A and B are shown apart, each in its own frame.
Chain A
């Protein structure tokens, strides 16, 4: 009788430990998955911020370089295209890359117009846009780091055993497409 009780207690302890482990592992996976979602929305936030900065920039440049209608229009068009682009990673990526290219040409104008280059507002906007582009890159990096952490956890033993049963799925990395891998072409 006493023997049986010890056995029962032993089994209960083991079950309790397994349950505690499962709760911990499950919560860890949820936390990592939410982090992925959060980091994905962070990319969107930064991309949107870039779009918001552009009208201001175009106005500033217009005051100094009226003759560069073509370059200015290319930027505005690229911005509109980016706003209208469907919300899929590929379409968004392509539209944003187009915009990056157009913006490079706009900033290159600074070289041809010394007054523009000396304008405080222009310099501030240039810094703001550079910083935002950096932030987009960093947000993507953080997204990929988050995916890496999550996938690692998901595929490692013993989490993989129950992760499959609970429908946790592998996430895809964000990959820079061809257009982003080659630096945009700046023409003078």
Chain B
């Protein structure tokens, strides 16, 4: 358990460094493509620094706000609060904040930067569709994310992947409008600056790389959280039957966006074309292992 926590902390540091590097690269690329030169690099470095710092402190509120979560009233959601409290005792964790998302699709996620500053959010659909034991299994899965410090890595990823997408998007648009400058006569000729071409390629590929990074970080930890959840409840059938219900349910989680996809217990977007010709490529971007695989693994416990 402690090894997992340590490796996750290391990974989040690596993620932040990698993110800053990617942003600086993008900045340089923007500089070359738009002709701003080193100013682009400088601005991008500044943005990266502020974002990396800001996302450490505030990314949980971002994730919650994006999903339109509201605090769960302890009286109204007595059972939910009770289950979270019980599991926290089992794991020796402080009780996280509990949130509700009004969405008919059954799903849940955890966020925060450490167990003392953590939050669990569940959809109203989850509360309706699962019974007590199943709900407990799902909550144990989310609390395992908190205990293993998965939340830190994945919540950082939310803001960073989002920021990279935003930056490259802006850059490509800027190129379209010639960086806001009035066109000069010389602009069109000799356009063979090789650095500008590399920059252009980089701008196109950066968001894709970011996405693949997000997916790889996420997949392995889902399986781990499933197993740790059973260590908390000592009752694998609860989580198994919960996952089976999630599998049978085809409602799309509307509150999820692509940036927060990897936070949820079940992949909120349908994996289109998972079995088609490009199935293998699609799986590369899946944030979760297939539910069947997860269920099969739990049955072996």
Contact = CB atoms under 8 A, between A and B. Distances in A.
Given A42-B89, A131-B85, A134-B82, 12 more contacts: A35-B92, A39-B92, A46-B89, A124-B78, A127-B82, A128-B82, A131-B83, A131-B86, A134-B83, A141-B234, A142-B91, A146-B92
Interface of B: 78-79, 82-83, 85-87, 89-92, 234
A42 B90 CA distance: 10
A36 B23 CA distance: 46
Nearest to A133: B86
Interface residues of A, number: 16
Given A141-B90, A142-B90, A135 B85 contact: yes
A5 B286 CA distance: 61
Nearest to B89: A138
Contacts, number: 35
A127 B89 contact: no
A138 B78 contact: no
Contacts of A127: 78-79, 82
Contact of B82 (A39, A42, A131, A139): A131
Contacts of B82: 127-128, 131, 134
Interface string A113-137: 0000000000010011001001100
Interface of A: 35, 39, 42, 46, 124, 127-128, 131, 134-135, 138-139, 141-142, 145-146
A82 B3 CA distance: 42
Contacts of A39: 92
A138 B91 CA distance: 8
Contacts of A146: 92
Nearest to A45: B89
A139 B85 CA distance: 11
A124 B77 CA distance: 11
A124 B79 CA distance: 9
Nearest to B75: A124
A126 to B, nearest CB: 11
10 contacts: A46-B89, A127-B78, A127-B82, A128-B78, A134-B83, A138-B86, A139-B90, A141-B90, A142-B92, A146-B92
| Residue among A39, A134, A141, A145 with the highest chain B CB neighbour number at 10 A | A134
B92 A135 contact: no
A142 to B, nearest CB: 5
A42 B85 CA distance: 12
Nearest to A123: B78
Given A39-B92, A146-B92, A138 B87 contact: yes
Which 9 residue pairs are nearest across A and B when measured between Cβ atoms? A131-B82, A138-B90, A134-B86, A138-B89, A135-B86, A138-B86, A139-B89, A141-B90, A142-B90
A131 B86 CA distance: 7
Nearest to B79: A127
